[in-house]
Amino acid sequence: METSANKPNADLSNWRQSPQNHFAFHRLPSEIATARIPAGTTSATFPRSSKTIDAFSLRLPNGSAIDIERFLAATSTDAMIVLSDGQLVYETYRNGMEPTSRHIAMSASKAIVGLLTEILAAEGAIKLDVPVTKYVPEVANSPYAEVTARDLLDMRVAIVLDEAQEKSYAQSVGWEPPSDRKAGFQSFVSRLRGPAWQRGGAFLYHSANTDLLGWVLERATSCKVQDLLSEKLWMPIAGDDAALTLDWDGFPRSAGGICATVRDLARLGQAVSLDGTFESRQVFSSQIAPSLASDGDRQAWSSGQWGESFAPISRNMSYRSGWYTVDAHPQILFAMGVHGQNLFVDRKNKIVMAKFSSWPQPVDGRIMWLTHAAYDEIRKML
| Residue 4 DSSP one-character state | T
Rounded CA separation 81/59 (Å)? 21
Beta bridge partners of 342: 336, 355
Residue (of 173, 163, 135) closest to 255 by Cα position: 173
- Based on its alpha-carbon atoms, the radius of gyration of the chain, rounded to whole angstroms, reads 20
Buried b / exposed e along 344-355 (16+ C-beta atoms within 10 A) = bbbbeebbbbbb
Q: How far apart are CA 3 and CA 280, in angstroms?
A: 42
Query: What is the distance between the alpha carbons of residues 297 and 325, in angstroms, rounded to a whole number?
Result: 10
The b-or-e profile of 136-174 (16+ CB within 10 A means b, else e) is bebbeebbbbbbbbbbbbbbbbbbebeeebeebbebbbb
Residue 216's H or E segment, with its range, is helix 207-221
Indicate the DSSP class of residue 199. B
- β-pair type (77-84, 281-282): unpaired
107 catalytic per annotation = yes
Rounded to an integer, what distance in angstroms lies between the CA atom of residue 330 and that of residue 65? Answer: 24
Compute CA distances 288 → 102, 118, 275, whole Å. Answer: 27, 7, 7
Contact assessment for residue 189 and residue 144, using Cβ atoms and an 8 Å cutoff: yes
In what helix (H) or strand (E) does residue 72 lie, and over which residues does it extend?
A: helix 68-74
Catalytic choice (76, 84, 107, 168)? 107
Residues marked active site are found at 107
